[in-house]
Amino acid sequence: MEVFVELEESGKVERRRGKNKLAIRDTDKEDGWEKLKENHVTELNTELKEELITDKESFLSSHFFTLLLHCSTAPPTLTEETPKDNRLEQSDPDKREQLSIRDIVELQETGFIVRIQPPGTESFELQVSGQMLVAELHQVLMDHEITCHRTCFSLQLGGATLDSLTELHSIQGLHEGALIKLVEDSYSVRDARLHLRHVCDLLRSLDPADSYNGVNGSSLSYLTFYTRGDKGNVGLSSSEKEYVDCSPPEYILPGCKDRPLTPLQPIRDDWKPLQCLRVLTMSSWNPPPGNRKMHGDLMYLNVLTMEDRELNITSSTRGFYLNQSTAFNFNPKPAVPKILCHSLVELLSQVSPAFRKNFSALQKKRVQQHPYERFAAPFQVFTWTAPHGDHTLDCVRVEETHTSRMGQDKHTAGQSRDWNEELQGCRELPRNSLQDRLHRERSIFKTSSDFVAAATRGAVAVIDGNVMPLNPGEAPHMQMFIWNNLFFSFGFDISEHYRPLGGNAAAHAAAICDLRGVQVEILTTTPTIVPGLLEKSQEQSVIYGSNDYGSTVFTHPRFLELLDKTCKPLRIQRHQVLDQNNIPVELCSGVETKGILGNDGRSYILDLLRTFPPDLNFQFSETEEAKDVPEECQSFGYPQQHHHSLASLRPELIEAFVQHRCGRGDERNHYVTIKYELYVKMVAQGLSQLEEQSEATEDLIVKACKAVGSVSDSCFDIRFNPDICSPGVRFSPEFAEEVQKQRKLLWDAAAFLLSNQIPALRDCLDHTALPMDGVTLTSVLHQHGVNVRYLGALLRELHRRICISEVIIRSAKHIFRTYLQDVEPAAFSAAVSHFLNCLLSSSTCVLDSCSDELLSRRRSRRRRSHGSRVPLLTDSMWARLTPSELWGRIRTEAGDYYHYTIDSENIDEVIEKHDLQRISLLREIAIKTGIQVQLREYVFESRHRPVFGEEDVVNMFPVVKHLKPTATDATQLLQQAQVAVQQGLLKDGYELISQALTLFSSVCGVLHEDVCVCLRLLGRLSYILGEYALSHQEKAVMSSERVLGIDHPQTIQDYTYLALYCFAGGQHSTSLQLLYRARYLTLLVSGEDHPQVALLDSMLGLVLHALMEYELSLKFLQNALNLTSKYRGATSLRHAHSHHLLATVYETKGEFRSALQHEKEAYSIYKSQVGENHDSTRESSEYLKSLTQQAVVLQKAINHIYSNTPSACIPPPKFSTPSPPAILQQLNLTCGIILIPLSAKEVADLRTEMKGKDKVQVEELENHLLKQKDLRTAHKGQQN
């Protein structure tokens, strides 16, 4: 099930944002961290740069880090002052006020200490921030170890109750050391339910069940499982190192073909349950009768303690107490002991010693967890594997199931939210100051995140049949639903609305196109109910656009004015179409885009299907003449027939095409070249003859603009008509030439994709970074503006197994989507397991199993008739699917959709031919379809029994596609940090990223992809600057695990860098375990035949070398050498470096012959690639001499021993031992980091030289532009 959430921004703000702020300011540094040397200038060898991996989530950070490693000037010292004029370049297209550094510093303030006085206990100190709200402080106290069991309380200062929406710094009398009293409040029914929920959350706080089930923002993290054992083992001595267990599991060693699944989610000791109660549930006596409500009763609870004592508890307005009720007798009077406690935990601690003991131990374990492990993730992350767990009693789960069925929110039970009004109200908030913008974006983030969560729950409720359709008499696929003021419909072509575009395929694609259009539009489109839309038909509501594909077209000045603002940034051409009366109608969007005026007076637009230009390569038309199709497209076999006619070009391609067409490098465009050369000539001549040449210049500019297809005569402004390929749309004959030019422009863009972007993508996959899975491959494609449907064209240029795997899995996903539509709910697990068997199993047997209900029915029928068994299994269409039939349909789909021919006759043949992994294919299909399989070992090679059974399909999750909001000011700061680092201002870049981190956290919470990017960059900058990097990188790893997934490629990369930082900090065994984890995840995701494995094996070999595990080190380094030769080439510098690493290990072992052999290979490569005078070549030459001398000494000693002749004493050979600094230097080189120490004078000279060059260039350009402007103004004045 795919859920498309159409909202401009979406996400989830942390419920405990105050706590998050405290976590961000956590700067605890572990003992034993050895600071790196003060190295300032960083460079990156061209060959080593290729090791950096770029994917969707880390594109900005990896690109930024690559630039960082190329910087050629040093950061300023602490005593150095940087002029503000030259420090940063401000970019503010909206003309908002510039960011106030003072405001950001206030957000980053260290805070102050206050004392909290809970009732009945001693006060304690708590660090708070002045920017924190009182409500956020309330949430922090609900998580604190001492006050976590309290929920219903207010905070008082000096006897006055604090307003929950007041910031702490604005409260008079609140200062360092002030005493804040926690005062118990009376309960309401809602307060009592929230208190019960909170207590249940505390009791299961260590239980990973929510993470496996994908609820409550819980997700898995295993970093502390690998880092907890080496915190104090810094700087181990040689004797201590002998006791470090360095042996990896067998499946991690090079060459092993086993890919076990269970290590993906290792068993953690700190997750072992500490059971405090046997049962805690709602009583059957609920709700309280009227006479008991008059006494303050709110609800009743049943508890079974660990001592097997049954308790009946009353929740009243004053608190909790025991009553005398039993299972069959209602007696609400207080029982002995007559104790009234304000907290349920306090009451249970009084009556159950086991609860008191276990709850105390549970909370100690809970607070020992890293905050990043406890916070709820903003977007729910689903894991594709999970163990079978015990289903336990849970009263909160029962309540949430009931409210979910009724379309209610857990915090607003019984209330329906007006999503449209909430979102529009947030967007209308002021945004003048930084604080205003932060408040506005935080509100949008919160509302949007709640909307995404509600839409997901609503979609699941619709699929489960928990929502009554608005039109129950219609066919199931045509039914529509309203749930919690949200409108739902299935992705089918209802009433044949999408028939001209491709039917059901177009209806499904329309949701994605609409979502992509919303992402870039200024106006907001939400699938909530537009005010007044249901009061009249859609035909009556539409005042702009068309509801019948151009037969009837409307326009409206208000919508033209609003949409015209989006035309330039989206490159949409303002155009006219003809309505049914042949009257021209002006539009600023595709004809399918509809404008509606809501009853609230706001303007709404719907159906942004044609926001981006159509892709003519997939708009096959029989009337298209071959001469109109560019040769580049014809060579690839385009145009092709597609499943629907909504195929459009990506925005990344549009921008690349415009830059290429209008840039000076476009040699095909004669006028563009002339314009650029003329400008250079005029600048060189001092613009002295500009007045005489002005007419010729303007004529050339007009011709150049016309040649590139610009809509302007004075500048390059290329725009596209979105209705060129829209069915039913007609244009006026007078615009026939313009329409033909627009179609030619679209063909040029389609040809540009094939002739430029596909080759660039091929070079990227060949030399820069090879994606590890389908997610990263899709990201790389999109970054280059290439749609996934071009995988077939890409495979013609680059035959990579990751591309072949993606074609197979995506084709299988398309089939699976229709496969499940006719499956009855009782047979879901059987049908899914059968599909997986047909796809991945080598067995031809069909599993003879069905659900429990079908088994009982079959057994009952067997007593009457033995012939009823076979028809029962073959009645369903899904049960008739065979592996050969499925493979045939996959081949057909791959040919029809991706235009790629799979030559293999079955899945076994294609796996063997392209060296694919079945476990990786299982992971891909599970992630793309939402299948969750049981965590166990699967024997795919068995030919006697199917691989998957019904019990192996644990669950199915919704695949949610939504937009991710962010903080605009923080994004701007991050861009400025990139500029600062490019200029060599590493310290300034570090400060800017820290400020961006503060803003991102303030808006989005700490578990967000943008926060993860900042943490990752701060860790790398800290490491390069010789400062403490572990804290930032640990948070980055945990954030990646929680937000992206424990086996996401970005998580693997973050593990790799954390291992580097741990080794630099002396935590060698932890570094080794992290690298083992990263290698296992890489093997599981992509297999051993991947360049990322070469990087990991080189690092593993170095760390094992440092730990004096030479045999293991040689295994990994030899495998790294083989992979480097395959992917980098036998003459690459990376291959030479691998030879050198092997030589150092052989030297340490005393095997000088092997060491000399590898170092000679390295020297030969260095000499041929960079020359004899290069530092690498000279160092290799010196090392060869040293090895030769040691080999001679060793041979003399051996000859002396065997000669048995008395002679002068020959000194024994000296075997080198690995030096941690030397190993660290090689690790840095392997990861692409070269640290070059510079003196203070060299740093100052480089900074002065760089600034001087920049200043001269900027001044020259400004003067030229000013002179050109003055001369043009004077010339126009003379003409007038």
1252-1265 confidence digits (pLDDT tens): 555 555 555 555 54
What's the pLDDT score for residue 826? 84
- The model carries a pTM of 0.83
What's the pLDDT score for residue 1237? 65
Phi/psi region, residue 99 (left: phi>0; alpha: psi -120 to 50; beta: rest), is: beta
Residue 253 above 90 pLDDT?
yes
Report the alpha-carbon distance of residue 1023 to residue 1030 in Å, rounded.
9
Residue 108 above 60 pLDDT?
no
Residue 1103 above 60 pLDDT?
yes
* Pick from 720-729, 741-750, 1092-1101, 1113-1122: least confident: 720-729
Report the alpha-carbon distance of residue 434 to residue 1197 in Å, rounded.
76
The residues pairing with 497 across neighbouring beta strands, listed in sequence order, are: none
1213 pLDDT tier (thresholds 50, 70, 90):
low
What's the pLDDT score for residue 752? 93
Quickly count: other Cβ atoms within 10 Å of residue 517's Cβ: 23
Classify strands 931-934 and 575-578 as parallel, antiparallel or unpaired.
unpaired
Residue 17 above 80 pLDDT?
no
What's the pLDDT score for residue 852? 53
Report the alpha-carbon distance of residue 724 to residue 742 in Å, rounded.
8
From the list 615, 640, 622, 626, the residue with the least C-alpha distance to 899 is 640
Cα 1209 from chain centre: 66
| Token reading at 625 | 């003449």
The pLDDT > 70 percentage for the chain reads 72
Report yes or no: 388 and 954 within 8 Å, Cβ to Cβ: yes
The DSSP secondary-structure symbol of 201 reads H
Report the alpha-carbon distance of residue 680 to residue 692 in Å, rounded.
16
| Token reading at 957 | 């999750």
| Token reading at 1046 | 């424990």
What's the pLDDT score for residue 241? 42
Residue 43 above 50 pLDDT?
no
CA angle (447, 451, 456) in 5-degree steps: 155
Report the alpha-carbon distance of residue 1062 to residue 226 in Å, rounded.
12
The residues pairing with 908 across neighbouring beta strands, listed in sequence order, are: none
Residue 38 above 70 pLDDT?
no
Residue 22 above 80 pLDDT?
no
Q: For residue 1032, give every residue at least 6 positions away whose Cβ sits within 8 Å of its Cβ, in sequence order, or none.
A: 1015, 1016, 1018, 1019, 1022
* Domain ranges across the chain: 26-109+225-264+966-1108, 110-186, 419-610, 617-782, 800-956, 1109-1217
Number of separate helices (H) and strands (E) present in the chain: 48, 23
pLDDT digit string, tens, across residues 817-850? 889 888 888 888 999 999 999 999 877 665 555 5
* Pick from 86-95, 869-878, 1074-1083, 1199-1208: least confident: 86-95
Residue 298 above 90 pLDDT?
yes
Beta strands in 957-1037 (DSSP E): 959-961
pLDDT digit string, tens, across residues 193-208? 999 999 998 998 888 8
Residue 103 above 80 pLDDT?
no
Q: For residue 677, give every residue at least 6 positions away whose Cβ sits within 8 Å of its Cβ, in sequence order, or none.
A: none
The residues pairing with 1164 across neighbouring beta strands, listed in sequence order, are: none
Instruction: Determine whether 885 is exposed, middle or buried from the number of CB atoms within 10 Å of its CB (0-12, 13-18, 19+).
Output: exposed
Question: How high is the mean pLDDT of the chain?
Answer: 78
Residue 240 above 90 pLDDT?
no
What's the pLDDT score for residue 797? 77
What's the pLDDT score for residue 99? 54
Report yes or no: 22 and 130 within 8 Å, Cβ to Cβ: no
pLDDT digit string, tens, across residues 983-1011? 888 889 999 999 999 999 989 888 999 99
Through-space distance between the first and last CA atoms of the chain, rounded to whole angstroms: 67
Report the alpha-carbon distance of residue 1235 to residue 72 in Å, rounded.
12
Q: Helix (H, G, I), strand (E, B), or coil: what is residue 366?
A: helix
What would the DSSP string read from start to end of 756-772? IIHHHHHHIIIII---S
Phi then psi for residue 43, to 5 deg, are -130, 165
What's the pLDDT score for residue 1084? 95
The pLDDT > 90 percentage for the chain reads 34
* Pick from 432-436, 637-641, 681-685: least confident: 681-685
Q: Helix (H, G, I), strand (E, B), or coil: what is residue 682?
A: helix
What's the pLDDT score for residue 357? 93
For the segment(s) 110-186, the CATH number from 3.30.1360.200, 3.10.20.90, 3.40.50.1000, 3.30.450.40 is: 3.10.20.90
Q: For residue 1098, give every residue at least 6 positions away whose Cβ sits within 8 Å of its Cβ, in sequence order, or none.
A: 1116, 1117, 1120, 1137, 1138, 1141, 1230
Report yes or no: 603 and 561 within 8 Å, Cβ to Cβ: no
The residues pairing with 128 across neighbouring beta strands, listed in sequence order, are: 112
Is 26-109+225-264+966-1108's fold the same as 110-186's?
no
Residue 45 above 60 pLDDT?
no
What's the pLDDT score for residue 711? 66
What's the pLDDT score for residue 348? 95
From the list 78, 80, 74, the residue with the least C-alpha distance to 41 is 74
Report the alpha-carbon distance of residue 1159 to residue 1165 in Å, rounded.
10
Average pLDDT, stretch 1120-1147? 92
Report the alpha-carbon distance of residue 159 to residue 166 in Å, rounded.
16
Residue 534 above 90 pLDDT?
no
Quickly count: other Cβ atoms within 10 Å of residue 86's Cβ: 13
What would the DSSP string read from start to end of 675-698? HHHHHHHHHHTTTTTHHHHHHHHH
Report yes or no: 322 and 331 within 8 Å, Cβ to Cβ: no
In one-letter notation, the amino acid at residue 695 is E
Average pLDDT, stretch 537-541? 57
Most confident of 262-271, 413-422, 823-832, 1233-1242: 823-832
- Between 74 and 1161, whose confidence is greater? 1161
pLDDT digit string, tens, across residues 303-323? 999 999 999 999 999 999 999
Report the alpha-carbon distance of residue 1118 to residue 1100 in Å, rounded.
11
Cα 135 from chain centre: 30
CATH 1.25.40.10, domain 1109-1217, yes or no:
yes
Residue 816 above 80 pLDDT?
yes
Q: What's the Rg (C-alpha) of the chain?
A: 34
From the list 939, 851, 942, 925, the residue with the least C-alpha distance to 890 is 925
| Token reading at 520 | 């870039």
Residue 1 above 60 pLDDT?
no
Residue 870 above 50 pLDDT?
no
- Between 18 and 834, whose confidence is greater? 834
| Token reading at 832 | 């899914």
1028 pLDDT tier (thresholds 50, 70, 90):
confident
* Pick from 128-137, 449-458, 488-497: least confident: 488-497
| Token reading at 895 | 């040919």
Domain 26-109+225-264+966-1108: which CATH class? mainly alpha
What's the pLDDT score for residue 1227? 92
* Pick from 1-15, 515-529, 618-632: least confident: 1-15
